[in-house]
Structure 1
Amino acid sequence: MSSIVLRALAPALGFVLAGCSVPPSSEPRREARVEGRVALAGPPVGNAFLFLFAPDEAPPEQRGEPRYVAAVPEIRLAAGDARFGFSGVGPDVYRLWGFLDANGDVDLTVDVLAQPGAGDWVPEDSVELNVQPGQTLPVDLSLSRRVHRPLPAFQAVEQGTEGVFTLTDSSTAIVSLNVRSKDFGLLRGDPPRFFVRLADADGDGTADDVNGDGVVDVWPQFFLRFVPKPGQTVPLDRQGRPAQVIVPLLPDVTPFLGSLQGDPSVTVAAGSLQLFVIPLAQAITQEPGKGRVVTTLGAIPVGEYELWAVNDEGGFWFVPNDLGRRTAEPVATQALRFRVVHAEGSDAGTGSP
């Protein structure tokens, strides 16, 4: 089993940047202001979006829901006015992060579209802020790194029965599904592809095999993410926070091995991939002094899942998403649900709910 998918879990999970609002304050006199300028490495084309996150939820290491949102419109950036400001900020520790939407295809109301894609500009890291009561805190943010990969937007080829793709919790069943890259007319620039390459996290020029199973780790990474319903439980970390539970998927890169030639610097663009389900579930927690802790569970939880793809720049896509749930012009393929049932009740991969 390839364990590189676990390293992508932290920067991927969570509904990012969508539906956030400024929390109310019961003590207006304690509110602070954060203000500064955006420094652009590229041309002032597009709107800049900025966010204040909790310290353990900020990109690029983590992805959470921002506490505060600000923007600098393109018309101001083009005029040389790159100022931004967050008003009514409660005293606390935050991390500042943002990006320039150079292609104009970001939509903060849609979960999978509320992130930077190809051609956009992002900071090298988020900036930690310690906001004091009543303070006006100056801080600048440099958007110095360009994103090269389009989002790994996809649809599953198998649509299941009544919009549900079903597999079982069997630890022996061999199940696969196929995914196809697609932009749905929403992403600008180069069309999305699965950019297949060998992973080389330490930069030594040799493909990684982190868990020593003899199978090299590759990008992109795929997994099923458990979405527990009320009453369903998952393991907790030491702070009592629920773990993220995933079922890893292994892309079949056999057709590309000849082109990759064992070289992590080589990338092959693919329009579709076959994914094999690794029949186990893993709980991911963050533990003080240990970092990310991975625990293999005794069984795959029965219930609803999302299918995730993550590329080597942290761009992600998952199904089902808001595109499939919206009332106006829903995208049917983005509403596909994934369900795990007990092996006694269904055959794996039949598409029966």
Structure 2
Amino acid sequence: MSSIALRVLALALGAVLGGCTEPPSELRRAARVEGRVELAGPARGNAYLFLFAPDEAPPENRGEPRYVAAVPEVRLAAGDARFRFSEVGPDVYRLWGFLDANGDADLTVDVLAQPGAGDWVPESSVELNAQPGQVLPADLVLPRRVRRPLPSFQVVEQGDGGVVSLTDSATAIVSFTVKSEGFGVLRGDEPRFFVRLADANGDGTPDDVNGDGVVDLWPQFFLNFVPKPGQSVPLDSRGRPARVIVPLLPNATPFLTSLQGDVGQEVAAELLQLFVIPLAQAITEEPGRGRVVTTLGAVPVGEYELWAVNEEGGFWFVPNDLGRRSGEPLPSQALRFRVVHAANADAGPGSP
């Protein structure tokens, strides 16, 4: 089990136990956050609630929650939607959560600790400023139902020894294929990639963010750099490490006729071919500027994760906890990605 999963499980257990009694005297300067979950749909499923650092909360950002609480289905069905975070350290937080209506969320598995198709989520997170000793009221409204399944996938080309090797060459043309797959852990309709033209600003015109003449698509894919000890990445203005990615370009050709340039159209696909864009980008969040993307001079060598993100913010990445679990691991979810110097290896899968 990953360190994140262990922490989430420990926090969840602490929230349940801590919500039953008053904190001891030495902890009374801690704050307490309590309120109700307000549902727009039926009270079916468990509700999970999280307190994040202000710049790490979904749906805009992704981070590790500082505190976790839950309201079980049996209480929701009885009309008791109360939740409580006990012993909260004084600080600024953002409250976010979801109702797991179909029962396939699992807070001990990284890619399953998120809402999927049919679940209910808030429009945004709620900012809270917890003061020492304060009992802070805060309700969470869940008005929006998630439409799309998680973009779960496996890579068709499984690499050599469970490792897909790519190079830092600026000229190599490399591609591989991903297949949508539910692995028996996601409920509802069979997962598919719902391909559509991106329109982030809502102007009805397909986006072409990098100006290369190729329209942008959902879902989006990228390789996420996982630096090892001794490997450095650029820092933002507050001294925090940037996220370094290598963009991947889905082959849009099979879908353009069906999409007809209409941002409202979509095509369900089982397979997608992805081309590796031979450049690396450092992504930071800067005060007053928002998301800042900086192109790096070279693609860092080392280990990467392969990520997919859909238009609703659902994500999947490989390798993940499903490939690392002790009981019945999924080999396809343990696949690793490695970038090496071009002089030291072949270009990788799909190279000419």
TM range (shorter): over 0.9
How far off is 1:17 after superposition? 7.2
Q: Which residue of 2 aligns with 1:252?
A: 251
Q: Is the 8 A contact 2:157 2:349 kept in 1?
A: no
Q: Which residue of 1 aligns with 2:116?
A: 117
| Alignment of structure 1 residues 168-179 onto 2, 5 Å | 168-179=167-178
TM-score by length of 2: 0.93
How far off is 1:210 after superposition? 2.1
**What is the letter of the counterpart of residue 298 of structure 2?**
A
Q: Which residue of 1 aligns with 2:102?
A: 103
Residue aligned with 1:30, SS: coil
Q: Which residue of 1 aligns with 2:131?
A: 132
Q: CA-to-partner distance for each residue in 1:43-91, whole Å, 9 max, x for gaps?
A: 0000000001111111111110111100000000011110111101111
Which region of structure 1 is more displaced relative to structure 2, 207-216 or 318-327?
207-216
| Alignment of structure 1 residues 85-234 onto 2, 5 Å | 85-234=84-233
Residue aligned with 2:285, SS: strand
Q: CA-to-partner distance for each residue in 1:265-320, whole Å, 9 max, x for gaps?
A: 00100001000000001111112222111111111000000000000100000000
Distance of 2:285 and 2:253 partners within structure 1: 34
Distance of 2:28 and 2:49 partners within structure 1: 24
How far off is 1:350 after superposition? 4.6
Q: Which residue of 2 aligns with 1:9?
A: none
**What is the letter of the counterpart of residue 254 of structure 2?**
P
Distance of 2:289 and 2:99 partners within structure 1: 34
How far off is 1:27 after superposition? 5.4
Q: Is the 8 A contact 1:152 1:192 kept in 2?
A: yes
Q: In the alignment, is residue 19 of structure 1 matched against residue 7 of structure 2? A: yes
Q: Is the 8 A contact 2:45 2:103 kept in 1?
A: yes
Distance of 1:161 and 1:17 partners within structure 2: 29
Distance of 2:161 and 2:7 partners within structure 1: 28
Q: Which residue of 2 aligns with 1:341?
A: 340
TM-score by length of 1: 0.92
Q: CA RMSD in A?
A: 1.8
How far off is 1:19 after superposition? 3.1
Q: Is the 8 A contact 1:18 1:108 kept in 2?
A: no
Distance 1:18 1:265, change over 3 A: farther
Residue aligned with 1:349, SS: coil
How far off is 1:114 after superposition? 0.3
Residue aligned with 2:28, SS: helix
Distance of 1:49 and 1:95 partners within structure 2: 14
Distance of 2:167 and 2:232 partners within structure 1: 19
Which region of structure 1 is more displaced relative to structure 2, 201-210 or 64-73?
201-210
Distance of 2:292 and 2:147 partners within structure 1: 30
Q: Which residue of 2 aligns with 1:271?
A: 270
Residue aligned with 1:308, SS: strand
Q: Is the 8 A contact 2:259 2:265 kept in 1?
A: yes
How far off is 1:196 after superposition? 0.3
How far off is 1:29 after superposition? 2.6
Distance of 1:320 and 1:177 partners within structure 2: 16
Distance of 1:200 and 1:136 partners within structure 2: 42
Distance 1:35 1:118, change over 3 A: same
Distance of 1:16 and 1:187 partners within structure 2: 21
Runs of 4+ that moved beyond 6 A: 15-18
Q: Is the 8 A contact 1:16 1:115 kept in 2?
A: no
Q: Is the 8 A contact 2:110 2:321 kept in 1?
A: yes
How far off is 1:117 after superposition? 0.3
Distance of 2:271 and 2:4 partners within structure 1: 25
Q: Which runs of 5+ in 2 are unaligned?
A: 15-22
Q: Which residue of 1 aligns with 2:19?
A: none
**What is the letter of the counterpart of residue 19 of structure 1?**
R
Residue aligned with 1:275, SS: strand
**What is the letter of the counterpart of residue 250 of structure 1?**
L
Q: Which runs of 5+ in 1 are unaligned?
A: 1-14
Q: Which residue of 2 aligns with 1:243?
A: 242
Q: In the alignment, is residue 323 of structure 1 matched against residue 322 of structure 2? A: yes
Distance of 1:58 and 1:315 partners within structure 2: 14
Q: Which residue of 1 aligns with 2:56?
A: 57
Q: CA-to-partner distance for each residue in 1:120-163, whole Å, 9 max, x for gaps?
A: 00000100011111111111110000000000000000111111
Q: Which residue of 2 aligns with 1:305?
A: 304
Distance of 2:26 and 2:313 partners within structure 1: 38
How far off is 1:344 after superposition? 0.3
Q: Which residue of 1 aligns with 2:27?
A: 28
**What is the letter of the counterpart of residue 164 of structure 1?**
V
* Count of aligned pairs between the two proteins: 337
Distance of 1:174 and 1:212 partners within structure 2: 20
Q: Is the 8 A contact 2:176 2:349 kept in 1?
A: no
Distance 1:46 1:339, change over 3 A: same
Distance 1:51 1:101, change over 3 A: same
Percent identity between matched residues is 79
**What is the letter of the counterpart of residue 283 of structure 1?**
A
